[in-house]
A = this chain, B = another copy of it.
Amino acid sequence: MRSSLSEAGIDYVELGGVQPNPRIELAYEGIEMVRDHQVDFILAVGGGSVIDSAKTIAAAADYDGDAWDLYNRSYHPETALPIGVILTIPAAGSEGSDSAVMNREENGIAYKRSFGAESVIPVFALLNPELTWTLPPNQTAAGIADIFTHVSERYFTNTTGTYIIDQFCEGIWRTLIRYAPIVYQDPENREAREQIMWAGTIAHNDFVGVGRDQDWASHQIEHELSALYDVAHGAGLATVLPAWMQYVYKHDLARFVRFATVVFGIENDPFDQERTALRGIYALKAFFSSLGLPTSMAELGGRDEDIDFLIENISYDSEGMLGSFVRLDPLAIREIYDLM
């Protein structure tokens, strides 16, 4: 890649060292770099953490205040430097989205926060499945859980009457379920890598959000887990999502029955819709487990004594609640933790 840039006569400076659960401090460094070298384009080569760091730098390079203002929502960037992406990890969908996530430590407490702005949607993204052939199984699996959840946060909401989008959601899920075991056995299977890569982009560029509410409760609960334990976001989601489902499924039993039957091919038990719905959730758990993902606090390496803190630290809305499909207060979230 460096030689392609040089051959094309494009001057560049490099910023390495992005970690999973990316830190705002590296973005500060990047912002200085952009200013010092009058950078006019940012090429993000990597996965979500790299792209989100690029978005932070691109959005704040022109801003006099603290780049963290993006994340406490006191600054909204109407403009940003253009960003291009060479994707190496299908997971976050950041290559096609308007959002970014960043970590910051304050008084010894780790915060993970997000922002969104149209100005940071990448102007292009190159998706070459060959670049994902060497991705280790645990990262591949965590990516699949992340993609799965980007769809579920748009699917399990109170919006009705979006039949066409529902089907696109289900199509993405069936794609993951079909190709995850293949890629697990055969990491260089081009078709499988390709289909998962495309699923990752489509799942989060809001194509499946058209006309639908979104409920990011599982993501927000998870962010505290990966902030505290520095685990992969997708691993945290594999733990949170089925527990969240078990807590909320009665709110729209028909939708969870549909999820079980249409996505996991579970037979619809007409005499016991609840059992059908629960079997769908168990199938999802089994799917995550089959990829080596944790589906309990213990497997994730979480400690019961942290749960108070994890619940307290969540970024609640102005009413002190989380989510919209089912409104969750801290007590409800404790019940979700009990299900993990």
Q: Determine if A268 is an interface residue (Cβ-Cβ < 8 Å).
A: no
A-B contact pairs, 26 of them (CB 8 A): A161-B191, A161-B194, A163-B174, A163-B175, A163-B178, A163-B179, A163-B195, A164-B171, A164-B175, A164-B195, A164-B198, A164-B199, A164-B202, A165-B198, A167-B167, A167-B168, A167-B170, A167-B171, A167-B174, A167-B175, A168-B168, A168-B171, A170-B171, A171-B171, A198-B211, A207-B207
Prevailing SS type, chain A contact patch? helix
Chain B residue at minimum C-beta to C-beta distance from A196: B164
Rounded to whole Å, the gap between the CB of A318 and the closest CB of chain B is 31
The 0/1 profile, CB within 8 Å of B marked 1, for residues 162-204 of chain A is 1111011011101100110000000000010011001100100
A162 to B171 CA separation, bound complex (whole angstroms):
12
Q: How far is the CA of A178 from the CA of B162 in the complex (A)?
A: 12
Task: Judge whether A15 is part of the interface by a CB distance below 8 angstroms.
Answer: no
Complex CA gap A167/B198 in Å reads: 13
Q: Which residues of B contact A165 (CB under 8 A)?
A: 198
Q: Interface residue count for A (Cβ, 8 Å)?
A: 23
Complex: chain B residue closest to A199, CB-CB: B164
Closest chain B CB from A241 CB (angstroms): 21
Nearest-CB residue, chain B, relative to A197: B164
Tell yes or no: A126 within 8 A of B by CB. no
Residue A210 lies at the interface, judged by CB distance under 8 Å to chain B: yes
For residue A213, give the distance in angstroms from its CB to the closest CB of chain B: 16
Asked if A172 and B179 make an inter-chain contact with CB atoms under 8 angstroms apart, the answer reads no
What 4 pairs across the A-B complex have the smallest Cβ distances?
A167-B171, A161-B191, A164-B175, A164-B195
Q: How far is the CA of A207 from the CA of B199 in the complex (A)?
A: 13
Q: Are A210 and B194 in contact (CB under 8 A)?
A: no
Q: A165–B194 Cα gap in the complex (Å)?
A: 12
**Alpha-carbon separation in the docked complex, A178 to B211 (Å):** 18
User: In the complex, A171 Cα to B168 Cα: how many Å?
Assistant: 7
Name which residue of chain B comes closest to A190, CB basis.
Answer: B161
Interface hits, A187-246 → B, CB 8 Å: 191, 194-195, 198-199, 202, 207, 210-211
**For residue A170, which residues in chain B have a CB less than 8 angstroms away from its CB?**
167, 171
| A162 contact set on B, CB distance < 8 A | 195
Residue numbers in B under 8 Å from A194 (CB-CB): 161, 211
The CA of A167 and the CA of B170, in the complex, are separated in Å by 9
Q: Name the B residues within 8 Å of A167 (CB-CB).
A: 167-168, 170-171, 174-175
Q: Which residue of B lies closest to A165 (CB)?
A: B198
Closest chain B residue to A161 by CB distance?
B191
Say how far A98's CB is from chain B's closest CB, in angstroms. 17
Report the Cα distance A278→B239, complex, angstroms: 46
Q: How far is A198 from B167 in the complex, measured between Cα atoms in Å?
A: 13
Cβ-closest chain B residue relative to A169: B171
- Residue of B at shortest CB range from A179? B163
